[in-house]
Chain A
Amino acid sequence: MTDLILQWVSYFLLGYFVLLNGGYLLLSVVTTGALVRYRHFLQAYSSNEALSTEALPPVTLIAPAYNEEATCVESTRAFLSIDYPNVEVLVVNDGSGDATMERLHEAFDLEGAARPPTASLDTESVRGVYQSQIHPNLWVIDKENGGKADALNTGINYCNSPLFCAMDADTLVEGEGLIRLVRPFLKDRSTVAVGGIVRVANGCTVQSGRVTDVSLPRQWLPKLQVLEYLRAFFFGRVGWDALGAMLIISGAFGLFRRETVVEVGGYRTDTVGEDMELVVRMHRHLREEGTDYRVRFVPDSVAWTEVPSTYRVLQSQRDRWQRGLADTMVRHQRMLFNPRYGVVGTVAYPFFYVLETFGPVLEFLGYVIFAIALAKGAISGPFAITFFLVAFMLGAALSSIAVVLEELTFRRYRDTGELLQLMTLPLVETFGYRQLNAWWRLKGLWSYFRNEKSWGTMERSGFGTDD
């Protein structure tokens, strides 16, 4: 009987293994084609020309700040230095308990100003609206604490432009990042949201709010995340974008049509995965309304962000991401395998729901069953080794494809030594890092079922410092 159960569980897990990896291999093929087409498109595109027209739509950058006294001035200066002719910066002080507001007052000579809200999303109350006397396009909204989503909703309420860019306070946008992000909106009026690529800033040199020299981090943990981000953004974004089923736009860097976001009710404040939830809700709403729309990803629009460099913070981040993912997937599970939602409901949602959300459970179930099979003497040595090799080489192949795509297309890591390091990272991460990640994601799933809502911690060492 035990053998029979084990056998069926094994078949089930084999199905998971084949589906997951088959999916990624397929995505890697789609990604390669999409990137080749995109490079061709770029040959006939001149950002200089786009910048020289006066038709770029105004964009509002919304940056929530909570207890950011150490970095708020630096990051606000970075936002103000973005290459875009018509940009307004809205910093939302989310009831910080430290001197964030005072720092902003001192640095930017803020004065109370009239700025009526243009939408009425529910938020915590606003204490005051201030305009910089040095940079007229800088506004600071001081409000009661309500969390990141609440701060973003407040920003949306005070946004006067048709497009807004949701930013993390610790994110640096590369020179032409914003103009590249706007491009799909210009090309197609039905575009409602566009995501850009987020890269790891640890190890890079930052001057005046700009990444001036790209390098790999020195510490192993951020270094491994460089490869992870590459894989995630190439396969998880470019691939899904090519299939017309982008479900995630990073909260650190995404451009949205304000009108659509207001129409769907803004960010949810009762989830830790507010960025993904918003995009999924937009898909759901617009499909139900029968509206023609696009959610796009632009692979050469880059924002740099600081990633965790300690196990504790990384664990907390992955735990939160998994909770946010599970929460979003369960909330909108009506879309699962539902043809009404097109390729989003029939392909992307099942992939994320079954393989990404509950994948860690299956992964760990695999370990347990393996132990049982081992105890029962049902495993033979050659099979064990060969299977390990298949899985190992598959992971290495996927990572290598991501590295080669990076080198063929956007090529940010120009030092040969660093490129060699990047190429060897897949061999390192298989031993320990992947298992840790799976464990953290499993814990995140457990936290979700226990209804935990905390954000965890993120310690920032600040840009310009080592790692």
Chain B
Amino acid sequence: MPLLVPCTGWSCALLLLADWPLDLPRIPLPGIGPLREVGGTLLVLIVATGAFMLITMIAGMITLGVHAWKKYRQRTYRTERDEWRAALLDILAGEKAPDALSDAVRSRQRSRFLSFLGVYATSVRGQELDRIRAVARPFLAAVQEKTKSRRSVVRAQAVQRLTLFGDDTHLPALRAALDDPAETVAWRAMMGLARRGPPEDAHLVIRHLDRFSNIDRRQVTSALVELGEDAAPILRQAMASSMSEDEPQSAFTRLICAEALRWLADAASAPMAKSLLEQDADDPELRAALLRLLRRVGHARHAPAVRAQCNSEVPFVRIHAARALGQLGTAADEDLLASLLYNDESRWVALSAARSLSELGLTSPIRQLAQSSHERTSLAEGLLPRSA
């Protein structure tokens, strides 16, 4: 790991100590004693030294000042947190009313207090979470105001807090934030709506999904899953939407819906996935998502659509088709899977086929491969247990 430490290379600079490299005109500076006549170079150097010295001193003073201030603040906050924690634990135990704590918080402590509560709010559920929300309620009007702040980071934090502590009355603010110009704010609003909104908000969330196509798909899927099982019909509709002319969806939205249905283990989406595979799923990533969905919730009767995808020209579609056959296939698929294991150009497809063969209890092609001189012998050997 080259550290590449800044090195000022002062030895090089020393060369300029010689007068000849920069023979600048001399500037008369009366009253400086021995430096009465200072060369231009020397003057530049003196000014530079002074400037760097000033930077060093200012940096030093800031460091010490910040250090002292943070130490003081740390002490104050610790005391503050200890008091809040003791009161909060009493409230969570039902021994105190929520107002007892929220009334004790001064206006300048609000933001810190909500940050403090946030840690507990993400760790508890049910009645305890309701109590924490009751403690935070008096501060939410101010939080909602902050969703109109000019700074996106403040808006994002406000949306996050409304999600965490808010109730149905704050849903309009979250819905409005979906159209926020800052992606971080819109993303938090989407997660908030998915978590807190009614299933009907699924339409709204889905309409905004394309905006997040650069975000990790697992994250987007995870947010959609928060909508819950009640939103499954809307997700199914969106997944199949290219068939409907009213509200066509992008391939990205459809594949995220397929993934969310898989996470929800929505068995009712299997026939639709089969029919999409057979009819109009052109996008390879969508096809792969549908194959993953079928592997999770499909049945042997869906296997023909999966088998057809084993001949796809896109390697990752073949990978998922081969894997899905491990769940949906039968002994009749041994030749197809063995062919993928031996002949497919992609090692990943071969591996998926081998795993599916194992799942179906059809291990003889793997054993034969392990004993052969085929280039994939090591792959097969890796799948057969070894002794230590």
Residue with the highest number of chain B CB atoms closer than 10 Å, among A6, A273, A387: A387
Query: Which B residues touch A190, using CB under 8 A?
Result: 214
Given known pairs A24-B6, A321-B2, A404-B66, the reply for A113 and B215 (CB within 8 Å) is no
Judge whether A114 and B14 touch: CB under 8 Å. no
Q: Is B56 an interface residue (CB 8 A)?
A: yes
Q: Which of B11, B19, B49, B386 contacts A389 (CB 8 A)?
A: B49
Bound form: Cα–Cα A114–B70 in Å: 53
B15 CB within 8 Å of chain A: yes
Please tell me if the beta carbons of B379 and A116 are within 8 angstroms of each other in the complex. yes
CB contacts (< 8 Å) of B271 on chain A: these are: none
Asked whether A398 and B2 contact (CB < 8 A) given A10-B16, A44-B184, the answer is no
Q: Chain B contacts of A41 at CB under 8 A? A: 153, 184
Q: Is A169 an interface residue (CB 8 A)?
A: no
Interface residues on A, range: 35 or more
Known contacts A276-B2, A321-B3, A397-B59; decide if A387 and B45 are in contact (CB<8 Å). yes
Q: Is the CB of B19 within 8 A of A380?
A: yes
Q: Does B206 contact A (CB under 8 A)?
A: no
What per-residue 1/0 map shows which CB atoms of B153-172 lie under 8 Å from chain A? 11011001000100000000
Tell me if B216 and A186 are in contact (CB < 8 A): yes
Residues of chain A within 8 A of B10, CB atoms compared: 17, 387-388, 390-392, 394-395
Near A by CB (< 8 A), chain B positions 183-230 give: 184, 188, 214-219, 221-223
How far apart sit A366 and B154, CA to CA, in the bound complex (Å)?
Answer: 51
What CA separation (Å) do A236 and B6 show in the bound complex? 8
Whether a CB of chain A sits under 8 angstroms from the CB of B233 is: no
Task: Assess whether A228 is interfacial by the CB under 8 Å rule.
Answer: yes
| Chain A residue contacts of B12, Cβ below 8 A | 13-14, 16-17, 362-363, 365-366
Report the minimal beta-carbon distance from B112 to chain A, rounded to whole angstroms: 12
A13 to B17, CA, bound (A): 12
Q: Are B4 and A21 in contact (CB under 8 A)?
A: no
* Chain B facing A: main interface SS: helix
Question: In whole angstroms, what is the CA distance A411 to B10 when docked?
Answer: 30
Tell me if A110 is interfacial: C-beta within 8 Å of chain B. yes
Q: Is B9's CB under 8 angstroms from A378's CB? A: no
A370 in contact with B347 (CB, 8 Å):
no
Q: Write out, one digit per residue, whether chain B residues 1-27 have a CB within 8 A of any chain A CB (1) or not (0).
A: 111111111111111111111000000
Q: Mark A392-423, 1 if CB is under 8 A from B, else 0.
A: 11111110110110011001001010010001
Judging by beta carbons under 8 Å apart, are B160 and A129 in contact? no
C-alpha spacing A89/B48, complex, angstroms: 52
Tell me whether A106 is interfacial, beta carbon within 8 Å.
no
Determine how close the nearest CB of chain A comes to the CB of B13; give it in whole angstroms: 5
CA distance A387 to B13 in the complex (A): 7
Known: A14-B21, A49-B122, A55-B219. A383 touches B41 (CB 8 A): yes
Q: Is the CB of A380 within 8 A of B17?
A: yes
A419 to B66, CA, bound (A): 11
Kindly specify which of A211-219, A247-255, A336-344 makes contact with the partner chain.
Answer: A247-255
Contact B35 A382 (CB under 8 A): yes
Chain A nearest CB, measured from B307 CB (Å): 23
- Say how far A128's CB is from chain B's closest CB, in angstroms: 6
**A324 in the interface (beta carbon within 8 A):** yes
A198 at the interface (CB under 8 A from B): yes
- Separation of A104 and B374 alpha carbons in the complex (Å): 33
A366 to B17, CA, bound (A): 11
Taking CB as reference atom, which chain B residue is nearest A110?
A: B388
Q: Is the CB of B55 within 8 A of A130?
A: no
- Which residues on B sit within 8 Å (CB–CB) of A456? none
Contact A390:B48 (CB < 8 A) given known A44-B157, A321-B3, A383-B17: yes
- The residue of chain B having its C-beta at the shortest distance from the C-beta of A49 within the complex is B122
Residues of the A chain whose Cβ atoms lie less than 8 Å from the Cβ of B343? none
8 Å CB interface, A199-251 against B:
228-229, 231-232, 235-236, 248, 250-251
Which residues does chain A contribute within 8 Å of B59, judged by CB atoms?
Answer: 397, 400-401, 403-404
Report if A325-B56 is in contact (Cβ < 8 Å); known contacts: A116-B351, A366-B14, A369-B15.
no
Are A55 and B8 interface neighbours, CB within 8 A? no
* B107 in contact (CB, < 8 A): no
A354 within 8 A of B: no
A53 to B385, CA, bound (A): 34
Residues of A within 8 A of B221 (CB): 55
Query: A48-B123, A129-B382, A400-B59 known; A14 and B49 CB under 8 Å?
Result: no
Report yes or no: A393 in contact with B53, Cβ–Cβ below 8 A: yes
User: In the complex, which of the residues B6, B41, B63, B154 contacts A403, with contact meaning CB atoms closer than 8 Å?
Assistant: B63
Find chain A residues with CB under 8 A from B62 CB. 404, 407-408
Closest chain A residue, CB of each to CB of B385: A114
Return the CB mask of A177-199 against B: 1 if under 8 Å, else 0: 00000000111111000000010
Residue on B nearest A105 in the bound complex, by CB = B388
Q: In chain A, residues 8-28, which have Cβ atoms closer than 8 Å to a Cβ of chain B?
A: 9-11, 13-14, 16-17, 20-21, 24
Residues of A within 8 A of B70 (CB): 407, 411
Given known A112-B386, A394-B8, contact A383–B3 (CB-CB < 8 A): no
* Most chain A beta carbons < 10 A, residue from B7, B55, B381: B7
B156 touches A111 (CB 8 A): no
> In the complex where A44-B156, A373-B15 touch, is A129 in contact with B347 (Cβ < 8 A)?
no
Which A residues touch B347, using CB under 8 A? 118-120
Q: Are B3 and A229 in contact (CB under 8 A)?
A: yes
Q: Please judge, given known A-B contacts A366-B13, A369-B15, A373-B15, whether A397 and B2 are in contact too, CB under 8 Å.
A: no
B17 and A362 contact, CB distance less than 8 A: no
The one of A17, A112, A119, A394 that contacts B387, using a Cβ cutoff of 8 Å = A112
The smallest C-beta distance from A82 to any residue of chain B, in angstroms, reads: 19
B118 touches A46 (CB 8 A): yes
Chain A's nearest CB lies how many Å from the CB of B263?
9
Interface-central residue, B2, B16, B45, B216, by most chain A CB under 10 Å: B2
> With A129-B386, A390-B45 as given contacts, are A400 and B13 in contact (CB-CB < 8 Å)?
no
Distance between A377 CB and nearest chain B CB, rounded to angstroms = 9
The answer to whether B56 touches A113 (Cβ under 8 A) is: no
Indicate if A7 sits at the interface (CB-CB under 8 A): yes
Closest-by-CB residue of A relative to B348 is: A118
Q: Which residues of B contact A (CB under 8 A)?
A: 1-21, 35, 39, 41-42, 45-46, 48-49, 52-53, 55-56, 59-60, 62-64, 66-67, 70-71, 118-119, 122-123, 151, 153-154, 156-157, 160, 164, 184, 188, 214-219, 221-223, 347-348, 351, 354, 378-388
Top 10 closest A-B pairs, CB basis?
A: A391-B10, A116-B382, A55-B222, A366-B12, A393-B52, A400-B59, A366-B11, A13-B12, A44-B156, A378-B18
A-B contact pairs, 10 of them (CB 8 A): A46-B118, A118-B351, A186-B219, A228-B5, A363-B9, A379-B14, A383-B18, A407-B63, A419-B67, A423-B63
- Give 19 new A-B contacts, CB below 8 A, not counting A44-B153, A49-B122, A356-B2: A9-B15, A10-B15, A17-B10, A17-B13, A43-B157, A46-B118, A112-B386, A114-B386, A116-B383, A188-B214, A235-B6, A369-B15, A373-B17, A390-B10, A393-B52, A397-B53, A400-B59, A404-B62, A414-B71
